[in-house]
């Protein structure tokens, strides 16, 4: 999993640096040395500055924390990591009998369990395949989460289509 993340980071940095180098060297006619230094600086700002900027924006956003409905009970409450633009962000994953809720700082994303088509576990990662998209969470307890969801489905405590 780590090599996959580092590979993803390296590809992002090389792509962003390459695009900026091409723009700087070919379009703006900078010298080769200047273009390389600017591309390197821009890549570092992208890699380290963008996550800090996103965290600042999320702190400034109006809180949007999901409140449970009356007949909704929490089945799973786990701290996970989710891959964001250029970094892994810590998130809180809650699975209720009706929703999958991912909370990062003061923002909640709520996904209905009615839209779940498949749940896949591989390499400490649990992936929820919804009707029109999928979302993955990195956790060491991925298999335990899947087992708990399967037990709850068999006990008819979950609202699932399949």
What digits encode the pLDDT tens for the residues 105-152? 888 999 998 888 889 999 889 999 998 999 999 999 999 999 998 888
Sequence-ordered list of residues with C-beta below 8 angstroms from that of 56, at least 6 positions apart, any chain? none
Query: Which of 60, 85, 100 finishes a domain?
Result: 60
Look at residue 138 and tell me if it is in a domain: yes
Q: Are residues 104 and 127 in the same domain?
A: yes
Q: Are residues 116 and 148 in the same domain?
A: yes
Residue 65 lies in a domain: no
Which residues neighbour 123 within 8 Å (Cβ) at sequence distance 6 or greater? Answer: 1, 4
- In this structure, are 11 and 54 located in the same domain? yes
Number of structural domains in the chain: 2
Same domain, 97 and 147: yes
Residue percentage of the chain with pLDDT more than 70? 94
pLDDT (0 to 100) of residue 85: 67
Considering the domain architecture, whether residues 82 and 150 belong to the same structural domain is answered as: yes
Are 56 and 78 within one domain?
A: no
76 with 139: CB under 8 angstroms?
A: no
- 77-98 confidence digits (pLDDT tens): 999 999 876 677 889 999 998 8
Q: Is residue 69 part of a domain?
A: no
Q: What integer pLDDT is reported at residue 161 of this predicted model?
A: 56
Domain extent for 122: 74-154
- Residue 161 falls within a domain, yes or no? no
The DSSP code for 148 is H
Domain assignment present for residue 125? The answer is: yes
- The domain that holds 115 is classified in CATH as 2.30.29.30
CA distance 15 to 89: 22
**Residues 20, 87: one domain?**
no
pTM of the model: 0.73
Give the tokens for residue 30: 């900078």
Residue-level pLDDT at 103? 92
Angle between helical axes of 2-22 and 32-44 (0-180°, round to 10): 140
């Amino acid at each position: 999993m780590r090599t996959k993340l580092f590979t993803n980071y390296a590809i992002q940095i090389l792509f962003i640096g390459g695009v900026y180098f091409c723009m700087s060297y070919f379009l703006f006619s900078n010298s080769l040395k200047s273009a390389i230094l600017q591309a390197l600086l821009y890549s570092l700002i992208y890699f380290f500055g963008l996550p800090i900027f996103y965290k600042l924006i999320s702190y400034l956003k109006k809180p949007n924390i999901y409140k449970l409905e009356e007949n909704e009970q929490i089945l799973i409450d786990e701290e996970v990591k989710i891959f964001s633009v250029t970094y892994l962000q810590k998130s809180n994953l809650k699975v209720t009998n009706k929703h999958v809720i991912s909370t990062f700082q003061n923002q909640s994303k709520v996904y209905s369990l009615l839209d779940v088509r498949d749940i896949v576990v591989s390499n400490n990662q649990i992936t929820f395949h919804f009707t029109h998209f999928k979302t993955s969470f990195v956790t060491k307890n991925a298999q335990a989460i899947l087992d708990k969801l399967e037990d709850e489905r068999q006990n008819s405590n979950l609202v699932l289509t399949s």
